[in-house]
Structure 1
């Protein structure tokens, strides 16, 4: 599929999931995105809830985009990266309003990529891009199914380039993936998809 084939749908949000090895993966992805990206980026990275996280500060050094921990009832804006805080599920409501919850773990994790992706599918339908990067386990696989079933686009890091193959392979196993890409190519494809609707 060529990015221009999705231009008629337009995109409004990018949701990204990662776990083990994800700081490097996210840094590479965000480093390839322009500060003027016309959509927000929502991220679930599995973090140790016992420690204060500095992930926003770390990733802010890799990208020109604004990077912050997501806040409950926060409105999302283009060109900004919102990261789920440790031990809180991140959801997005129609109209771009974030919600943080401490509801039960999903696949033994909180935050859960599945819950983020499912909320993105419900709020944005065909205007959503979901991306799964390196990580262990299966988190994200049910969510990409939801995104695809609502007409959204699914991108998965090629497991051969992932530090940990579990999450990318589980996503691929759904049969609902549009792009399987080396880590270094994902940002360019996301930019191409998003920009295509502006033309």
Structure 2
């Protein structure tokens, strides 16, 4: 591995706008991989990677089993598959049971990242409904990682960030426009 941090990010309702703002503010040489779960309809192919690629200078792709994590690259979970990070820094997709009624689930991604990268994980929970990500941020914190949640004022839907905040393990509660700069600061340490 040629990086010491990994960013795992979760969003749901309102996520396209939030992801666009955060990712478009990151440089193409961002020194960590970024892995994203965005709740999407399982009935249609996702255009999320393509849409975000048009708006951002960082490399963005839909994740595939066997992808090796690289800094400066964003990996997005495809619809209806859980995305996991393996100990060797590769990705796996599974079609196992839904978690909190969703697949892909942030909790699955965050827990696998915590096991694989421990204190090197930076977990971010953005706008969304329900509470996906709350159990995952607890796993990240238990392994020494860092947790960021989007604040109420800038969230289109605050349920997901609020559930993360209510766990008591969130290190930073930030407006959307401050998240990219904070990520840059954290991965530069």
Q: TM-score, normalised by structure 2?
A: 0.97
SS at match of 1:159: coil
Q: Is 1:112 aligned to 2:105, yes or no?
A: yes
Q: Displacement, 1:36?
A: 0.1
Q: How does 1:117-136 map to 2 (within 5 A)?
A: 117-136=110-129
Structure 2 counterpart of 1:172: 165
Structure 1 counterpart of 2:62: 69
Aligned mates of 1:190, 1:152 — CA distance in 2: 13
Q: Displacement, 1:34?
A: 0.8
Q: Displacement, 1:178?
A: 0.3
- Residues 53-90 of structure 1: CA distance to partner in whole angstroms, max 9, x if unpaired? 11001111121111000001211111000000000000
Structure 2 counterpart of 1:4: none
Aligned mates of 1:30, 1:11 — CA distance in 2: 19
Q: Return the match for 1:154 from 138, 147, 150.
A: 147
- Residues 164-192 of structure 1: CA distance to partner in whole angstroms, max 9, x if unpaired? 01000000000000000000000000001
Q: Return the match for 1:91 from 58, 62, 84.
A: 84
Q: TM-score, normalised by structure 1?
A: 0.92
Give the number of aligned pairs. Answer: 187
Aligned mates of 1:165, 1:80 — CA distance in 2: 27
Structure 1 counterpart of 2:131: 138
Structure ranking higher on relative contact order (CA contacts 8 Å, 6+ apart): 1
Q: Displacement, 1:193?
A: 0.7
Q: Kindly indicate whether the alpha-carbon contact (under 8 Å) linking 1:11 and 1:126 is maintained by their aligned counterparts in 2.
A: no
Structure 2 counterpart of 1:192: 185
Gapped runs of 5+ residues in structure 2? none
SS at match of 1:129: strand
Q: Is 1:60 aligned to 2:18, yes or no?
A: no
Structure 1 counterpart of 2:44: 51
Q: Kindly indicate whether the alpha-carbon contact (under 8 Å) linking 1:11 and 1:129 is maintained by their aligned counterparts in 2.
A: no
Structure 2 counterpart of 1:21: 14
Q: Is 1:163 aligned to 2:159, yes or no?
A: no
Q: Displacement, 1:41?
A: 0.3
Q: Displacement, 1:39?
A: 0.7
SS at match of 2:8: strand
The structure 1 segments of at least 4 consecutive aligned residues displaced by more than 3 Å after TM superposition are none
Gapped runs of 5+ residues in structure 1? 1-9
